[in-house]
A and B are shown apart, each in its own frame.
Chain A
């Protein structure tokens, strides 16, 4: 969760001029020369994938005897918009409603066919604390379909999806809708504790005199509001500050971060222009225009990026507004079913949802290292190696955080000293990594990102013809998550 408020402002100053060519430093596009055999070439993104890899996997499939196959039928999301823009006057459940309705439209799902709805959110609107239920009712789902809300910082919708997987695996449900919403254009700002206390006592005060004396006790200082914490509760450190320290700990330079951020924006722009982001649905915002595109994708030049001052650690920090993810409004939703049910209903599923793990570490010095811890664990669980994975989708909280994770995954010393492993897991090859952009460029509505990652993996597997995909993400509280996704045979 990165709350770099200033970024939206700063980025508007950037031109849209594309700097794609300068990217070759960070994206390695060259073909793997010695591989023979048929090449499957992704049309927009000239990336050769050796077909022979198909037969060289550690495992042919991750299906296990006696375990239900659970599938992703489809996934959608509203356009992710910088907060304070077109969605500004909505409420969180409005956005969630749009995503849910979009899912219904996309899948043609009968509204009463859903057994259960699980939805994630991080910053809670107090009026709709169970936002899942409010959105489901508003989206026209049957009022007989129960719904609950989960929260786990930036992996809230991952939690929603795995909850759905659990419900299906346990045989309690056959069709579950999971998703997440984040609405940063409006956040609950509270009165101070003292003021709240006085106001609550006021309710109980019986006589006019008692009320007046309570009112008289209000001091000017009581009127100053309490903003939602932008910091880790346990350490009082803001996430950007922690990311900057993490980057420094792993020796990630400002240049590397800016390059990665630029890569994210450039790839996102390319994916957007190339029509890859098919999970995005159009949304008619009441009183405004129809929105059908993410609005945070802004490729700039390295020079422009280099001009920015550090946003958190001054003056020598390396994390800036441009290499951090920005405050975003958005919602996402996926339809998860047992394979039998999906086939019985005539669906062509997109992917199998396979093994997943949650991890947690020190919330101070390892706040954002979730992917480093989760990746080897989930690979081990599923019996795969890093080489088996064709598609990587990692949540990009900060460019520095991604680079630090990649370095940590490449380090034997780190694996041995901090993870109790014999060897490193290895870093994902960049040509398979977040090739349609990521949270840095597409935006990061905290609780909606997880579904975007999973849906993107499914779509990329289909487009690029891979078999296995890996989702990994970090989250506030020093937690992390990873999931293995297997392409549904076409």
Chain B
């Protein structure tokens, strides 16, 4: 308590961030009661003692610990009561927010009489003010007589206390900025008027609902329930609204979707840690070979993390294109104001573009991203090994070539590792790291450390054709080609896949990956794994490549791409090719044909030890391949769908199509014993 202002400091001793847990709710209620009982206190400041985090939201563990919907509903109601208490406080409350303020944290912040948000870098703070969510911004401070973090919180508290005092004395008005209010006044008036008609409201609900349905395809139940809550609140008053809200919240917490998403969250947190320990030598200088789409993408996510990055190509044109890609990536960020133009320039100063091997003697890690051709990779590896210092790691970015084949020509195979980035590198979160039996642990630790610094979610898998991700995708795409050969329209196929929850349809995905790459991979993996990888005829893809239909990059694939046009037409010439390879329609469940092959291959990867655990399998599939997030990944899907049901479906497909649908042993084991689950 500072004079007539009570300062409530939130600090969860057991966690890095504050969350809304039952304990916190209880303590908060106690503190509030105490404050209201104390006549000396005129106003309140709520602040977190943790730098960079106010309240991160509800405690996930708390929700996970509940076994019934009623329990969650109870929790939710308690939470509502607490928020209501804060909202209806007779004494003004200032929420001094430093850093993240999410979910329930925001709810706690918002009803407070006078809110504040703080963060120097993030534009979100500015935006929050513009949206009217917060009333006053406090800047982050630099070094002073104490550390910047410590002093910033202190300063925030000082300012908040002053504001609270001002509010209590009614010196500071509570209204939002006048300018904003006036300009919106007229609009608001109309809105109020119109909203008074139930008919109009119904229209709005419908519109919103349709929009949600379009975006989620009905796979995520939460947005629809939220609409219902709002509806209940508006039509029947706040009490009914709160009741519906807590009931829905309880039900939602118990849905498989909720479990899947919480599982993904925990998995992602796990994959943001380096389970191989700290590398002996920190990588400072990174040399990337090949300034193509991948090479430049890797450079882009490296320069802004402080890596001194050498980008080498063989031609001036290639290099120029690559450097432009890096520049554009960063410049787009300045346009969005997430970084300043000065930061962009200073990031770019970490980039050296060159055609020779100058400076490679100082490189700590090489990431090779040249064309996917074993002989070229061999040539590059030998050339580079002559230039680099002994400690330097050679990482190869390939989507399908086995790392041990590439490492075969290396003099120091313990320093060779696979780093499989996904395109576009700056958008895709996943990095698949592939180790051979010769790769040293320190090399792996170093590669993981670099990937984490680049902001990636990382899975570390064993070596083998297609590793994990490509190996799962290949059979699914092979099945997709077969479906196309059966006469299903590419648009229909896309609709079926996105309808299952994939963010990108199978035909579009093939175009994005590149038909040539797909053909290449299909052939390689077909050789390695035999008929299990059959399905569609590889010749279909090959013929398309011959005609120049390489997907988006060549302007034609399954679809026709025209620069500047969002609309895509189906490539009729591709259809002609498909026609010539036409198969009789089997007219069975296309969605499960596609997904079961994907899932079976994933389980097989775990069985064969390519995957270390199901968590990485789920994370890899969701973040790298777009496996439906609402299903939580192939392993969680097996758990929730039921291995026995999946095997049953596959057996049916097996009768028609053959061994491509033979369930693997591990899957059969799970089918036999329902108590076996991949996720506990």
Chain A contacts to B: CB under 8 angstroms: 233-236, 241, 245-246, 248-251, 313, 315-316, 362, 364-366, 404, 407-408, 411, 413-414, 417-418
A235 touching B151, Cβ below 8 Å: no
- Per-residue contact bits, chain B 135-146, to A (CB 8 Å; 1 contact, 0 not): 010111111111
Task: Flag if B340 contacts A249 (CB, 8 Å).
Answer: no
Complex contacts, A365 vs chain B, CB 8 Å:
141-143, 148
B contact residues around A407 at 8 Å (CB): 144-145
Residue of A251, A316, A413 with most chain B CB atoms under a 10 A cut-off:
A316
Minimum CB–CB distance from A401 to chain B (whole Å) comes to: 13
Q: How far, in Å, is B130 (CB) from chain A's closest CB?
A: 15
User: Quick check: is B342 within 8 A (CB to CB) of the other chain?
Assistant: yes
Q: Which of B139, B145, B146 contacts A245 (CB 8 A)?
A: B139
The CA of A4 and the CA of B428, in the complex, are separated in Å by 46
Q: Which residues of A contact B172 (CB under 8 A)?
A: 315
Q: Is the CB of B145 within 8 A of A250?
A: yes
Task: State whether A366 touches B143 (Cβ < 8 A).
Answer: yes
Interface check B205, CB cutoff 8 A: no
A205→B34 CA distance, assembly (Å)? 78
Most buried by B among A234, A249, A411: A249
**Residue of A with least CB distance to B166:** A315
Contact A235 B145 (CB under 8 A): no
Instruction: Tell me the nearest residue of chain A to B340, going by C-beta.
Output: A236
CB distance from B149 to the nearest CB of A (A): 11
Contact A246 B142 (CB under 8 A): yes
- Of B155-163, B365-373, B415-423, B433-441, which binds chain A? B155-163
Q: Which 10 A-B pairs have the closest CB atoms?
A: A365-B142, A249-B144, A249-B141, A234-B342, A250-B144, A316-B159, A248-B155, A411-B145, A245-B139, A249-B142
Chain B: minimal CB distance from A253 (Å) = 10
**In whole angstroms, how far apart are the Cα atoms of A365 and B145 in the complex?**
13
Please name 22 pairs of A and B residues whose Cβ atoms are closer than 8 Å in the assembled complex, sorted by A: A234-B342, A236-B340, A245-B141, A246-B142, A248-B151, A248-B155, A249-B142, A250-B144, A251-B151, A315-B172, A316-B159, A316-B163, A364-B142, A365-B141, A366-B142, A366-B143, A404-B144, A407-B144, A408-B145, A414-B143, A414-B144, A418-B143
> How many Å lie between the Cα of A366 and that of B144 in the bound state?
9
Report B-chain residues with C-beta under 8 Å of the C-beta of A362. Answer: 142
The count of A-to-B residue pairs whose CB atoms sit within 8 angstroms is 62
Those of B126-185 within 8 Å (CB) of chain A: 136, 138-148, 151, 155, 159, 162-163, 172
Contact indicator A251/B136 (Cβ below 8 Å): no
- Most chain B beta carbons < 10 A, residue from A248, A407, A417: A248
Given contacts A249-B145, A365-B148, A404-B144, 5 further A-B contacts (CB under 8 A): A249-B141, A251-B144, A251-B151, A315-B136, A414-B143
Closest beta carbon of chain B to A54's beta carbon, Å: 35
Bound-state Cα–Cα, A362 to B139, Å: 17
* A249 and B162 form a contact (CB under 8 A): no
- Complex Cα distance, B102 from A190, in Å, reads 44
* Set of chain B residues within 8 Å of A315, measured between Cβ atoms: 136, 172
Residues of A within 8 A of B145 (CB): 249-251, 407-408, 411, 413-414
Evaluate whether A235 and B342 lie within 8 angstroms (CB atoms) in the complex, with A246-B142, A365-B143 already known: yes
Cα distance A233–B141 in the bound complex, in angstroms? 19
Bound form: Cα–Cα A462–B598 in Å: 89
Residue from the set B139, B143, B342 with the largest chain A CB neighbour count within 10 Å: B143
Contact A316 B142 (CB under 8 A): no
Distance (Å) between the CB of A149 and the closest chain B CB?
26
Q: In whole angstroms, what is the CA distance A235 to B344 when docked?
A: 11
B residues within 8 A CB of A364? 142
B residues whose Cβ falls under 8 Å from a Cβ of A: 136, 138-148, 151, 155, 159, 162-163, 172, 340, 342
Shortest distance from the beta carbon of B344 to any chain A beta carbon, whole Å: 11
| A245 and B142 contact, Cβ closer than 8 Å, known pairs A316-B162, A365-B148 | yes
Inter-chain CA distance A415–B138, complex, in Å, is: 27
Of the candidates B140, B141, B142, B342, the one having the most CB atoms from chain A within 10 angstroms of its own CB is B142
Q: B280 → chain A, closest Cβ, in Å?
A: 27
Residues of B within 8 A of A249 (CB): 141-145, 148, 151, 155
Q: How far is the CB of B15 from chain A (nearest CB, A)?
A: 28
A362 to B141 alpha-carbon distance, docked (Å): 13
B136–A235 CB distance below 8 A: no
A365 closest partner in B (C-beta): B142
Q: How far is the CA of A41 from the CA of B159 in the complex (A)?
A: 46
Query: B144 to chain A: closest CB distance in Å?
Result: 3
What's the Cα separation between A316 and B139 when bound, in Å?
11
8 Å CB contact of A235 from B144, B146, B162, B340: B340
B85 to chain A, nearest CB (A): 28
Q: How far is the CA of A417 from the CA of B155 in the complex (A)?
A: 20
Complex-state Cα separation, A417 to B147, whole angstroms: 9
**Are A316 and B342 in contact, with the CB atoms below 8 A?**
no
Which residues on the B side are within 8 Å of A411 (C-beta)? 145
Nearest Cβ on chain B to A213's Cβ, whole angstroms: 24
Contacts of B141 in A (CB 8 A): 245, 248-249, 365
Q: CA A366 – CA B148 in complex, angstroms?
A: 12
B480 to chain A, nearest CB (A): 49
Q: Which residues of B contact A248 (CB under 8 A)?
A: 139, 141, 144, 151, 155
Contacts of B147 in A (CB 8 A): 417
- Report the minimal beta-carbon distance from A236 to chain B, rounded to whole angstroms: 6
Contacts of B144 in A (CB 8 A): 246, 248-251, 404, 407-408, 414
Q: How far is the CB of A292 from chain B (nearest CB, A)?
A: 42
For residue A161, give the distance in angstroms from its CB to the closest CB of chain B. Answer: 30
Contact residues in B for A316 (Cβ distance below 8 Å): 136, 138, 159, 162-163
Question: Min CB distance, B142 to chain A, in Å?
Answer: 2
Min CB distance B71 to A, Å, is 44
Inter-chain CA distance A490–B162, complex, in Å, is 56
Q: How far is the CA of A246 from the CA of B148 in the complex (A)?
A: 11
Distance in Å: Cβ of B573 to nearest Cβ of chain A: 41
